[in-house]
Structure 1
Amino acid sequence: MTSATTLTAALPAEHRARLMRHAREVSFPAGTRLFEEGRRADRFWIVRTGTVVLDVHVPGRRAAVIESLGHGELVGWSWHIPPYVWHLGAEAMSQVRAWEFDAEAVREMCARDPGFGRAIAVWVGHVVADRLRAARIRLLDLYGPYGSGSPP
């Protein structure tokens, strides 16, 4: 996680307040699958408490955990980029409380207000870059001949 990926660091206060007016409080027990790779991405979450892990399907093996997400972090970015299909899977590793957002409603807000839309797009872009970095490092650790080369 980088500071640019958390909600409070990513969005100016006025955009954060506007987004949060569309939040719905939800909770998930440990072990709940939030979404599966390849399925329709029609919502997203911001973690309030608990831990969500992101994983990638690996044929013939268990799903590889890519990253753990916690307080203030965005769960899901695929809702923002057509064709709106999840690129990873997600599971609650502990009891999770989160804010849930309807993706279509947020995309409509982005389309109506270019300033808000740009702020959301930059936030999601930072999240995608961070997840790509995390996935690369984790997959090298799991499957590369010498690991990621990152110090332990």
Structure 2
Amino acid sequence: MTDTTLAMALPVVHRERLMRIAHEVNFPAGTRLFEEGGHADRFWIVRTGAVTLDMHVPGRRAPVIESLSFGELIGWSWIFRPYVWHLGAEAMSPVRAWEFDAVAVRAMCDCDPAFGQAIAQWVGQVLAHRLRSARTRLLDLYAPYGSGDPR
């Protein structure tokens, strides 16, 4: 698990509070969870399966930026206005996930500043990680010498 997974990023008290409003959903392989530019009104945490994040590149097939699995957050755009997805997401295998209503979580954050700060730090860590992944992946695909990252 990375430090951006729910279990590693949120203190137990905040994780338990968040999980009280979760409900389980299932996605068959090939299901698009969201499209870049769509309204971000929910988010998920992967229980089983794999989800890929992709990015629209004009004139090209959308490159996969990152693959997500157990414990990882799917979607961060729900926390920042104007609540529009910045990437796309697709289930690469059958996926079981916990789904969260973004409006409800934002309301919880507004009512409890400690909870809100914990959520914001978690999502911020995820966002920073995704930005690095997107940069590396796009350099690997389109820069003359790649990203230079030996991974």
Q: Look up the match of 2:59.
A: 60
Q: What is the RMSD computed on CA atoms of the aligned residues?
A: 0.8
Q: Look up the match of 2:72.
A: 73
Partner SS state of residue 3, structure 1: coil
- Which AA in structure 1 matches 2:47? R
Distance in 2 (alpha carbons) for counterparts of 1:3 and 1:33: 25
Distance in 2 (alpha carbons) for counterparts of 1:40 and 1:150: 33
Q: Which string of whole-angstrom CA distances, capped at 9 and with x for unpartnered residues, describes residues 82-134 of structure 1? A: 10000000000000000000000000000000000000000000000000000
Q: Look up the match of 1:10.
A: 9
The structural deviation recorded for 1:60 is: 1.1
- Which AA in structure 2 matches 1:125? G
Distance in 1 (alpha carbons) for counterparts of 2:31 and 2:108: 29
Q: Look up the match of 1:115.
A: 114
Is residue 2:28 matched to residue 1:29? yes
- TM-score, normalized by length of structure 1? 0.98
Q: Look up the match of 1:136.
A: 135
The structural deviation recorded for 1:4 is: 2.2
The structural deviation recorded for 1:11 is: 0.4
Distance in 2 (alpha carbons) for counterparts of 1:135 and 1:39: 19
Q: Which string of whole-angstrom CA distances, capped at 9 and with x for unpartnered residues, describes residues 36-72 of structure 1? A: 0001000000000000000001111111100000000
Distance in 2 (alpha carbons) for counterparts of 1:67 and 1:52: 8
Q: Look up the match of 1:91.
A: 90
Distance in 2 (alpha carbons) for counterparts of 1:151 and 1:116: 38
Structure 1 unaligned regions, length at least 5: none
Distance in 1 (alpha carbons) for counterparts of 2:91 and 2:129: 20
Distance in 1 (alpha carbons) for counterparts of 2:70 and 2:60: 30
Distance in 1 (alpha carbons) for counterparts of 2:37 and 2:12: 33
Partner SS state of residue 47, structure 1: strand
Equivalenced residue count is 151
Distance in 2 (alpha carbons) for counterparts of 1:43 and 1:151: 35
The structural deviation recorded for 1:3 is: 2.4
Partner SS state of residue 5, structure 1: coil
Runs of 4+ that moved beyond 3 A: none
Structure 2 unaligned regions, length at least 5: none
